[in-house]
Amino acid sequence: MSTTVSDVYVSRTDRDAAIVARQDPVIYGNGAYADALSGEQLAAYERDGFLLMRGLFSPDETRDLLVEVGRMRADPAIRALDEAVIEPRGRAIRSIFRVHRLSGAVARWVRDPRVVNVARQILGSEVYVHQSRANLKPGFEGKEFYWHSDFETWHVEDGMPRMRALSCSLLLTDNTACNGPLMLMPGSHQQFISCRGQTPHNNYQTSLRQQEYGVPDPVSLRLLADSRGVEAMMADAGSVVFFDCNTMHGSSGNISPLPRTNLFVVYNSVDNVPRDPQYGLEPRPEYIAARASRAPVVPLGTAPASYAVSSVAGDEPLEEFSCTGFPR
C-alpha cells in the first residue's frame, strides 16, 4: 500500500491563507556540531530567527568583495547570463545569482569559517550551497523585496522538505534608514504562513524581479508584526545577518543616491536535500536552486588573508559560464 506523506507546510493552493505552527527545530542538535557562536548568540538566534553580527568582516575584506561584485555587475558577459536579473522597471541589475560559481573570491567567502561554521552549528550537519546571490539594490532604482518567507518558496518551488536551511547576508555597503535595509520580523520563524494562489509554471522568470505568488496576506503579516514588531538591520558594511529560512523578511525600495548591496549565501543541511517541486512544477534552474552541485562546503582552515581578487587565484575551478557572443 503506497503511503502518501502529508505535507506539513501546505501552501500555494486555492484554500484561504492560514498560519501553521513550525514543526521543526531552529537549532539542530544541541548547537555542538561546530563551535562558532556562543550560547548567548545561539539563544538569540533561536528566539528571534536571526542574528546580526556587526563588523564580522573588516573594511578591507568587505571593500574587496564589493569591488568583485562591481566587476561582475560591469561585465557584459555576466549581464548576458540568466544569473543576472534585471529590475522590474528599468535596466539596472537587481540580483546576480550563483555568484559563488562566477567569482573565485565569493567561492572562497562561502567557505570562510566565520560564516559556514555558523551554518554548520545551527543546522547541526554539513551544509551545501542551495543558492547564492548579490542583491545590488542600486541607488534611485533598487526596487523593494516585499515581505516573504524564503522557505515557503524553496518548499513549494524547489521541493525543500523541512526548515533546516539559513541565509547569511554580508552587508557590502552600509545599510541605513535611507537605502532600503533588510527588515525582519522577530519570532516570525515559528509560524508558517500558507499562501493562497496556484504557482504558474516558470514562475521564477517573474518572481525574482517582483514576487506575486507565495506573498503572505496582510492579515497574517499584521499578526506576525503585532507579535514582536519589525527590526531593520541598519549596520555598517562588513556586518553579517544570519536568518532562518522561515523568518519573515523584506526590504523597501532604495530611492537614496547610495546603493544597498548585500551578498547572500543560502546554506542547506545535507540532510535536507530538496526532492521534486510541488504540484508537478518543473525544477527551477541550477543557478537558483542547486541540484547538480550539492557538495558539502569544506570550511577553510582559517579566514583568507585577503579577498582581493589577485589574492584568490587558484581557487575552486569556476564553471566556465556559458554565454553567447563573448569569449570564455
Residues at the interface with ligand 6CS (CB under 6 A): 131, 133, 145, 148, 150, 153, 207, 211, 288
CB of 293 to ligand 6CS, least distance (A): 16
Burial (0-12, 13-18, 19+ Cβ within 10 Å), 257: exposed
Q: Which amino acid is at 2?
A: S
User: In angstroms, rounded to a whole number, what is the distance separating the alpha carbons of residues 225 and 234?
Assistant: 18
CB of 195 to Fe ion, least distance (A): 14
CB of 59 to Fe ion, least distance (A): 26
Of 150 and 244, CB closest to Fe ion? 150
Q: Which amino acid is at 147?
A: W
CB of 321 to Fe ion, least distance (A): 24
CB of 188 to ligand 6CS, least distance (A): 15
User: In angstroms, rounded to a whole number, what is the distance separating the alpha carbons of residues 111 and 225?
Assistant: 34
Of 288 and 312, CB closest to ligand 6CS? 288
C-alpha distance across the termini of the chain, in Å: 53
User: In angstroms, rounded to a whole number, what is the distance separating the alpha carbons of residues 276 and 274?
Assistant: 7
Residues 6 or more apart whose CB falls under 8 angstroms from that of 33 comprise: 120, 121, 123, 124, 125
Of 64 and 150, CB closest to ligand 6CS? 150
Site string for Fe ion, 126-165 (x = CB under 5 A): ------------------------x---------------
Burial (0-12, 13-18, 19+ Cβ within 10 Å), 127: buried
User: In angstroms, rounded to a whole number, what is the distance separating the alpha carbons of residues 110 and 128?
Assistant: 10
Of 101 and 299, CB closest to ligand 6CS? 101
Of 189 and 312, CB closest to ligand 6CS? 189
User: In angstroms, rounded to a whole number, what is the distance separating the alpha carbons of residues 264 and 249?
Assistant: 14
Which does residue 211 bind out of ligand 6CS, Fe ion, none, counting CB within 5 to 8 angstroms by kind?
ligand 6CS
Radius of gyration of the chain (CA): 19
Which does residue 311 bind out of ligand 6CS, Fe ion, none, counting CB within 5 to 8 angstroms by kind?
none
Of 108 and 143, CB closest to Fe ion? 143
* Residue whose C-beta lies closest to Fe ion: 150
CB of 239 to ligand 6CS, least distance (A): 19
**Residues interacting with Fe ion, by CB under 5 A?**
150
